[in-house]
Chains A and B, each alone.
Chain A
Amino acid sequence: MTIESSPVKFTPPLPGQPVPEIGTISGGRPVFRAELPDGRIAWLVSGYESVRQMVIDQRFSRALAVAPGRAQPGFEMSAAGSISGTDPPEHTRLRKLVASAFTVRRVEALRPRVASIVSQLIDAMAGRPQPTDLVASFSLPLPAQVICEMLGVPAADTSQFHAWSDAIIGDWQRDADEIMTAVTELYGYFGTLIEIKRAQPADDLMSALIAARDDADRLSEHELTAMCCALLIAGHETTANHINLSLLLLLDHPDQVATLRADPELIAGAVEELLRCTRLGGLPPSRVTTEDVRLGGVTIPAGEQVIPLYSTANRDRSVFIDPDRFDVTRDAASHLAFGAGVHHCLGAQLARVELQEAFRGLIGRLPGLRLAVPVGDLEFKPGMAIHSLRELPVRWGES
């Protein structure tokens, strides 16, 4: 067993900065020890094969990674016992409770509703003076409305829960007390909602989960609340910022926008390419080894923290030809933007449908869509684990 004496210093690139070539940060090794911006030492895994192999392998445990006292500071602090912070068989039990609501088939049935929300939001934007902030008028309300309707949460509460959500998706720079206060408040909010739904069930996912709790005892009251919180947060922050980052990438490639406008059939493939090329966050969630594991030519000892660098997998030239080229016509479907294995993004299909309908609407109905400020003036919210734009002022039509 070899453990390098000096870990490589690693700072995740910001959007717009290039993803490091696989191996160049580490001297050619796909799996290497690194010192993270918060000073922690972890193993980083790069490249398609190693990342995929790692996240499918149950010897890399999420439960150990988010155990109390062990969790990375930031969004991982509230993950213990939740769907994103458990291993099989606990994870399988929780996942099966919600899996059927997020299948390709069930989500496809929601497409007309998603398209209708897109249409209403664009109608409202078109009636307001330009420039318009796309975050407030489109990117955030679209996924928020969709997940609220699925779960049975009043969409009117978006600004309230979005503030908690921003704090909960914090990174290591965020004050731990601030995160835990937001978690407590969001749990309290759902505690009240769950009691209302208990008394008056509806045709929504929260009511279905309450029935699974009360009728079949398939999850605890805490798990019920944690599941609702996880679905709400994961269901809107990620997609909202994926719309923002994807639009920035598209606006930087007018030829690709022209290609999409000429052939809207390409939208689904374009969304896969946007998922491949866009980096939503800084450091992905980690795992901890349950035993010594051989990966990418090294042995990672038991009990070590390991982080899969999905962005390097998505730019692996052994899988994607000319990987740094953004090409909406390429077959990018094998990207790992949604992860893989038991924690493969539950909302992947929903995100796909939302992104497809969002860009069908934005490109189709707002010709000439462009930034209203220089790209360098855009601000990301500090202390967040995902790249969350404060505002995205846009104009469209004739200038």
Chain B
Amino acid sequence: MSRWKVSVDKSLCIGSAMCVAIAPDRFVLDERQRSGPVEAEIDPDELVRDAAASCPSEAISLVDADTGQPVDLD
């Protein structure tokens, strides 16, 4: 199974900390309370998928590292 590339668009992030609460090992807040991934490329992780699907500002991008296609969030 191919790996996922995780990124957070800090210009969209509203600092809800939803992702940090759902997947505390995968996301971290900066000093401005904006989120970012702990690691930019990860093995598939359902909690990261949940975090992306739950993000109120759709700031989290999940992409298949091999194909470059967006990962299905459902």
User: When chains A and B are docked, how far (Å) is the Cα of A57 from the Cα of B29?
Assistant: 13
CB within 8 Å of A: which of B29-74?
Answer: 32-33, 50, 53-58
Contact B21 A334 (CB under 8 A): no
Contact A103 B56 (CB under 8 A): yes
Residues of chain A with a CB closer than 8 A to B50's CB: 88-89, 92, 96
Q: Which of A102, A104, A333, A341 contacts B17 (CB 8 A)?
A: A341
Q: Say yes or no: is A95 at the interface (Cβ < 8 Å to chain B).
A: yes
Size band of the interface chain A makes with B: 20 to 34
In the complex, identify which listed stretch (A168-176, A225-233, A276-284, A342-350) lies at the interface while the others stay far away. A342-350
User: When chains A and B are docked, how far (Å) is the Cα of A234 from the Cα of B24?
Assistant: 27
Residues of chain B with a CB closer than 8 A to A104's CB: 12, 14, 56-58
User: When chains A and B are docked, how far (Å) is the Cα of A105 from the Cα of B18?
Assistant: 17
Q: Say yes or no: is A340 at the interface (Cβ < 8 Å to chain B).
A: yes
Size band of the interface chain B makes with A: 10 to 19
Contact A92 B22 (CB under 8 A): yes
Contact A340 B57 (CB under 8 A): no
Q: Say yes or no: is A58 at the interface (Cβ < 8 Å to chain B).
A: yes
As a 0/1 sequence over residues 1 to 33 of chain B, the CB contacts with chain A under 8 angstroms (1 = contact) are 000000000001011111011101000000011
* CB proximity of B56 to chain A, nearest CB, Å: 6
Contact B16 A340 (CB under 8 A): yes
Contact B21 A105 (CB under 8 A): no
Q: Which of B18, B53, B57 contacts A342 (CB 8 A)?
A: B18
Contacts A88-B22, A92-B50, A334-B33 hold; do A344 and B16 have CB atoms under 8 A apart?
A: yes
Contact B18 A341 (CB under 8 A): yes
Contact B21 A56 (CB under 8 A): yes
Contact B57 A103 (CB under 8 A): yes
* CB proximity of B10 to chain A, nearest CB, Å: 13
Contact A56 B56 (CB under 8 A): no
Contact A99 B53 (CB under 8 A): yes
User: When chains A and B are docked, how far (Å) is the Cα of A99 from the Cα of B33?
Assistant: 21
Contact B58 A103 (CB under 8 A): yes
Q: Which of B53, B54, B56 contacts A349 (CB 8 A)?
A: B56
Q: Say yes or no: is A338 at the interface (Cβ < 8 Å to chain B).
A: yes
Residues of chain A with a CB closer than 8 A to B32's CB: 334
* CB proximity of B38 to chain A, nearest CB, Å: 15
Contact A342 B12 (CB under 8 A): no
CB within 8 Å of B: which of A303-350?
Answer: 333-334, 338, 340-342, 344, 346, 348-349
Residues of chain A with a CB closer than 8 A to B17's CB: 52, 55-56, 340-341, 344
Q: Which of B12, B14, B54, B58 contacts A95 (CB 8 A)?
A: B54
User: When chains A and B are docked, how far (Å) is the Cα of A342 from the Cα of B33?
Assistant: 15
Residues of chain A with a CB closer than 8 A to B16's CB: 338, 340-341, 344, 348
Q: Which of A58, A89, A99, A338 contacts B21 (CB 8 A)?
A: A58
* CB proximity of B36 to chain A, nearest CB, Å: 15
* CB proximity of A276 to chain B, nearest CB, Å: 13
CB within 8 Å of B: which of A157-204?
Answer: none
User: When chains A and B are docked, how far (Å) is the Cα of A103 from the Cα of B53?
Assistant: 10
Q: Which of B21, B53, B56 contacts A102 (CB 8 A)?
A: B56
Instruction: Closest A residue to B32 by CB, please name it.
Output: A334
Residues of chain B with a CB closer than 8 A to A342's CB: 18, 21-22, 54
Q: Which of B16, B32, B55, B57 has the most CB of A within 10 A?
A: B16
Residues of chain B with a CB closer than 8 A to A100's CB: 53
Residues of chain A with a CB closer than 8 A to B22's CB: 88, 92, 342
* CB proximity of B43 to chain A, nearest CB, Å: 19
User: When chains A and B are docked, how far (Å) is the Cα of A333 from the Cα of B34?
Assistant: 11
Instruction: Closest A residue to B46 by CB, please name it.
Output: A89
Residues of chain B with a CB closer than 8 A to A333's CB: 14-15
By a beta-carbon cutoff of 8 Å, the part of chain A in contact with chain B is 52, 55-58, 88-89, 92, 95-96, 99-100, 102-105, 333-334, 338, 340-342, 344, 346, 348-349
By a beta-carbon cutoff of 8 Å, the part of chain B in contact with chain A is 12, 14-18, 20-22, 24, 32-33, 50, 53-58
Offer 28 A-B interface pairs, CB within 8 angstroms, sorted by A: A52-B33, A55-B17, A56-B17, A56-B21, A56-B24, A58-B21, A88-B22, A88-B50, A95-B54, A96-B50, A96-B53, A96-B54, A102-B56, A103-B55, A104-B56, A104-B57, A334-B15, A334-B32, A334-B33, A340-B16, A341-B17, A341-B18, A341-B20, A341-B21, A344-B16, A344-B17, A349-B56, A349-B57
